[in-house]
Structure 1
Amino acid sequence: MTKWIDISQPLTNSIAHWPGDTSFQYETALTKEETGSVNIGRITTSAHIGTHVDAPFHFLNDGKRILDMDIDRYIGPCKVIDVSEFPAIDEAALKSKQLTQAERLLIRTSLPNNPERFPDEVPPVTPDGAAYMKKLGVKLVGVDTPSIDPVTSKDLAGHHALHENDIYILENVMLDHVEEGDYELVALPLPLKEADGSPVRAVIKPLEGDSK
């Protein structure tokens, strides 16, 4: 039986967070000894911690919130590709993979998977890359970086270009241990009605008949 592969960053108190944002903290707020029956945990976190999805409200005041998003986008066939030889996820990088169609695309870049270190730079998604994804039929893109824009970006050209091409955003997936190929993806956000993003537990498994 084919097993699911976890491509999520474990949420620990040492996980890296966006500079200036709220860090992730878990504590056992009440112990079994204190309650007489159970341990009760408490978390404090940003919505954009670890492996997470962005809603358009993250970068547009009138954008959709998490609970407005189409849940079907986060479940279904996906393709994993490696563009680590390229400095950006642009049209040239995508064309090098000779793709014909992909509804969900998970992209491995040159950035090593290190959940405890926030990177200084990331390979961004460019506007022409987003437009080319649209031609391929991409409805969701996942990257192994904390953002699909440069860390210092204020105009967030990648976020806006993906939104304009109706492509959902999944960030911080862990792909260093994953081979290129066709998979089934599940990466469901929490039902946070007003939120601009949500952590997810992202998992994949090879599609039946794929050569792995």
Structure 2
Amino acid sequence: MCHACVIEGVRKSMLSRRDLFRGAAAVGLAGAAAGMGSARAALAQASGRAVDLTHAYDGSFPTFDGNPGILFEEAVNIDKSGYQLWKLTIYEHTGTHIDAPLHFSKDGASVADLAVENLVAPLCVLDLTAKAAEDANAMVMREDVDAWISANGDIPAGACVAMHSGWAAKVGDPSFRNTAEGAFAFPGFSKEATDYLAELGAASIAVDTLSLDPGNSADFAVHFSWLPGGRFGIENIANLDQLPARGATIFIGAPKHKTGTGGPARIIAVV
């Protein structure tokens, strides 16, 4: 059967079923609204303002190895078939994405196995912009975590702790990835800070740069310690400058492909 015939048949079927679903949808929406009301009530300090923490990306988005992280190939042409479809080739660790425990361990949890309760979490934003302005490879240290605690209170159990270095504004410029000489240069976490956050009960960390470790890291100490410990990370997060240090709730739309070491994710915060 031709694609056009299929589409026309589906269209007619949808039209004939629309009235049937209209009544059911009204009931469903009422139930969904009640559920959303309960969910919103559970969000600490939430006012309902949503902030997208995800970069839109294509083949030009900067990647660690310099190769395109996503490739588009036309699979179905709208002029020929009446609808359009892309075939995507996506590398897991590109764009705004998750690093699952399996990324740096043989038997760690895959991205599909991340505990769902850790995908909705209190968000703590550590401001590293001043340090990053002085040193492109600045690191979040234990003292930075302590300073945040002194100003904002304890790190909540299960929190996502995000480093705001200001690097997201550099996307599209070569300095997001490296120096003029070609050396990697961007801020990240120190192992002493992430070991401390593990003790405090944080479930995930996030950076607005290419890597959880700083650009000049020679040993990927954070990757090798934080991830095998059963925790996960988010890289290339966006718009942290629009959030308070404390009080936002992060929603982490992690992909769920089996045996995945990570993958592009839609990240949203509600303030």
What residue is the counterpart of 1:17 in the other structure?
A: 63
- The match for 2:139 among 88, 91, 107 is 88
Which of 1 and 2 has greater Rg? 2
Give the drift of 1:133: 1.0
| CA distances 1:160-191 after superposition (whole Å, capped 9, x unpaired) | 22235543211111135323231111112111
SS at match of 1:132: helix
Distance apart, 1:72 and its partner CA: 1.9
TM-superposed CA distance for 1:23, in Å, is 2.6
Q: In the alignment, is the contact (CA less than 8 A) between 2:213 and 2:221 conserved in 1?
A: yes
Q: Percent identity?
A: 20
Structure 2 counterpart of 1:30, from 66, 69, 76: 76
Aligned with residue 207 of structure 2, among 131, 143, 161: 143
State the 1:20 CA deviation.
4.9
Distance (Å, rounded) in 2 between the aligned partners of 1:41 and 1:3: 32
Where does structure 1 lack aligned partners over 5 or more consecutive residues? Answer: 207-212
Distance verdict in 2 for CA 1:164–1:22, change over 3 Å: same
Query: Displacement of 1:124 after TM fit?
Result: 2.3
Q: Report the alpha carbon displacement of residue 192 of structure 1 after superposing the two structures with TM.
A: 1.0
Please report how far the alpha carbon of residue 131 of structure 1 lies from its aligned counterpart in structure 2 after TM superposition: 1.8
Gap regions ≥5 residues in structure 2 = 1-46, 132-137, 179-184
Is the 2:141–2:193 contact (alpha carbons within 8 Å) kept by the matching residues of 1? yes
Residues 45 and 154 of structure 1, relative CA distance in 2, 3 Å threshold: farther
* CA shift in 2, pair 1:20/1:11, >3 Å: closer
1:47 maps to 2:92: yes
TM-score by length of 2: 0.68
How many residues are matched? Answer: 205
**Secondary structure at 1:78 match in 2:** strand
Which structure: greater strand fraction? 1
Structure 1 position 161 matched with structure 2 position 225: yes
For 2:161, the equivalent position in structure 1 comes to 105
Contact 2:124 2:155 in 1 (8 A): no
Are the aligned partners of 2:204 and 2:233 in contact in 1 as well (CA < 8 Å)?
yes
Could you tell me the TM-score, scaled by structure 1's length? 0.86
8 Å CA contact retained: 1:65, 1:195: yes
Q: Is the 1:124–1:158 Cα contact (8 Å) retained in structure 2?
A: no
CA-CA distance at 1:152 after TM superposition: 5.3
**2:171 and 2:58 mapped to 1: Cα distance?**
9
Question: What whole-Å deviation, never above 9, does each CA across 1:116-135 have from its counterpart, x for those lacking one?
Answer: 34412122211210122123
Deviation string for 1:12-56 (max 9, x for gaps)? Answer: 232112225553223433212222x31111212210111101112
Q: Of 35, 46, 54, which aligns to 1:8? A: 54
2:253 counterpart SS class: strand
CA contact (8 A) 2:100 2:227 kept: no
Greater share of helix: 2
Match of 2:196 in 1: 132
Q: Structure 1 pair 10/112, CA: closer, same or farther in 2 (3 Å)?
A: closer
Give the match for residue 12 of structure 2. Answer: none
Q: Which residue of 2 aligns with 1:72?
A: 117
For the aligned residue pairs, the C-alpha RMSD in angstroms reads: 2.1
Q: Is the 8 A contact 2:52 2:267 kept in 1?
A: yes
d(CA) in 1 for partners of 2:228, 2:262: 18
